[in-house]
Amino acid sequence: MRKLKVLMFGWEFPPFMSGGLGTACYGLTKGLTNKNVDVTFVMPNGPEDMKAEFVKLMIASNLKRYNVKLKYIDTLLRPYLSDTQYVREYDRYIEVLKNSNANSKVIYGKNIYEEVYRLSLAAEVIALSDEYDVIHCHDWMTFPAGIAAKKATGKPLVVHVHATEYDRGGGNGVNSQVYAMEREGMMYADKIIAVSNFTKQKLINNYFIPEEKITVVHNAVEFSEEKKFDIKQHEKVVLFLGRLTLQKGPDYFIEAAKKVLDYDPDVKFIIAGNGDMEAKIVDRVAQLGIGNKVLFAGFVSGPDVDRAYQAADLYVMPSVSEPFGITPLEALRNNVPVIISKQSGVSEVLKNALKVDFWDVDELANKIISVLNYRSLHKDLSKHGLMEVHTFSWNIPAGKCIEVYNLVISEKNNEIKI
């Protein structure tokens, strides 16, 4: 049988990105190539003068052994970028350009929507450059690219939803332009992959997508070589790791921290990450008078991520709306027990974790104190969690994606016959 050829519009691979989208793209691509699928991965890539060259080299060498063809599109887009952040990025680029005195022309869109559209033009060219069986794209910024590729080639389109505008808004309204692009992608798609039932329900209720068009494929976790850090600690440490946005619920983490500290002052809380809520969170910490107990570690990446986990006695993911949530799996991989919000996709599949409603700060505090004080609980949660996390192989979601590919391809073939 001929190899399946997939044209995938995705995002940068770890460790050079923030958040779970790149991690998921990387894992899925590896899983697919393990299963003998030919993947051409189109990666949005920043302007050369703003990014170190070794990034590209790293990625290329990482993927060499998996036999993935990489193509780059030069763009200012990055995952999780908001429209205002894009404008800031654009202005920064113009500034860099001025200072360099180079004579280059500005190719990027003035706003994020223009830029996404520009990406789709490039996508069309790539799609026509070879014969692909199926087009697969990840989250809204690549949806127009996927649509363009589908229109140009007539090949079936699969859109993969890792997060919706409703998650990113954290319950505070949605950007209507983003919503429109998300929905357009879902409508044009032959099949939609959602990372959880949690997300599937959002697509049904908020995007009015028929249930049968959606397949749930839960994420997995990638095991790299284990790096053990020798971290000495005297106090018990509770970790938050994620963007400081409404979606991730850092405010609930702080409120729970206060309750825990009232009960047991011998605990430290570490907040690793940055985002638009940072100032608000710092203020609140000061207001609660727990400034000496809450440490802000800023954005962490690369080996520092594992270092952060290993410094912790407990990882908490209090997300308000988390389509999947890969960080609890990473924490367990580092032998750290986890408390996760029930409003997350990962809580559908992860058994050896404590689960709370994100708004139930009392219960979150109850569970934090219990894990820190009852050693047997800490031991069993991390022991069984580590065993469980080893079963989350990317080969499983990759297999489910292949089923989706075969389905859309055979449907397309039947259409043609008719």
Partner 1 sequence: MPNVCFYFQVHQPYRMKKYSVFDIGSNSTYFDEQKNAEVMRKVAKKCYLPTNALMLELIKKYKHTSRPFKISYSITGVALEQFEKYAPEVLESFKVLANTGCVEFLSETYYHSLSYIYSKEEFKSQVEMHRHKIKYLFNQEPVVFRNTELIFNNEIANFVEQMGFKAMLAEGADHILNWRSPNYVYRAKTTKNLKLLLKNYKLSDDIAFRFGQKSWESYPLTAEKYAGWINQHAEHSINLFMDYETFGEHQWEDTGIFAFLKKLPDELLKNGHTKFIWPSELALIEPVAELDIHNYVSWADVERDLSAWIGNNMQNSALEEVYLLEKTIKDVNNKSLIEDWRKLTTSDHFYYMCTKYFNDGDVHKYFNPYDTPYESYINFMNILNDIIIRMKRLIQEKNVVIDLREDYKKQNYNLKHQLTEKPHKSMVVFNASL
Distance CA 363, CA 66 (A): 44
How many residues bind partner 1 (CB under 8 A)? The answer is 25
CB of 319 vs partner 1, minimal distance in Å: 18
Report if residue 74 touches partner 1, rule: CB under 8 A: no
**Could you say which DSSP state residue 12 is in?**
P
Strand, coil or helix: 239: strand
The Cα–Cα gap between 68 and 35 comes to 12
- Residue 232: partners with Cβ closer than 8 Å, 6 or more residues away: none
Closer to partner 1 by CB, 263 or 299: give it. Answer: 263
Take residue 77 and report the two structure tokens written for it.
């887009």
Span near partner 1 by CB under 8 A; candidates 175-183, 244-252, 281-289, 364-372: 364-372
Which two structure tokens, joined as six digits, stand for 342?
């029930």
CB of 264 vs partner 1, minimal distance in Å? 6
Should residue 329 be labelled a site residue for partner 1 when binding is judged by CB under 8 A? no
Task: Give the contact letters, 255-294, x = binds to partner 1 (CB under 8 A), - = no.
Answer: ----x---xx------------------------------
Binds partner 1 by CB under 8 A, chosen from 379, 406, 411, 413: 379
Is 374 one of the binding residues for partner 1 (CB under 8 A)? Answer: yes
* Strands laid side by side in the 134-138 sheet: 69-74, 38-45, 5-9, 134-138, 157-161, 191-194, 214-216
Report which DSSP code applies to 296. Answer: E
CB-nearer residue toward partner 1: 169 or 328: 328
**Considering beta carbons, is residue 56 or 384 the nearer one to partner 1?**
384
Q: How far is CA 93 from CA 89, 117, 381, 388, in A?
A: 6, 19, 47, 45
* Residues contacting 279, CB < 8 A, separation 6+: none
By CB under 8 A, which span of 3-11, 125-133, 278-286, 357-365 interacts with partner 1? 357-365
Minimum CB separation from partner 1 for residue 85, in Å? 39
Question: Which CB atom, from 183 or from 367, has the smaller least distance to partner 1?
Answer: 367
Considering only 58, 70, 81, 369, the residue that binds partner 1 (CB under 8 A) is: 369
Token pair belonging to 129:
């450059």
**Which positions touch partner 1 (CB under 8 A)?**
259, 263-264, 351-352, 354-355, 362-363, 365-367, 369-370, 373-377, 379-381, 383-384, 388
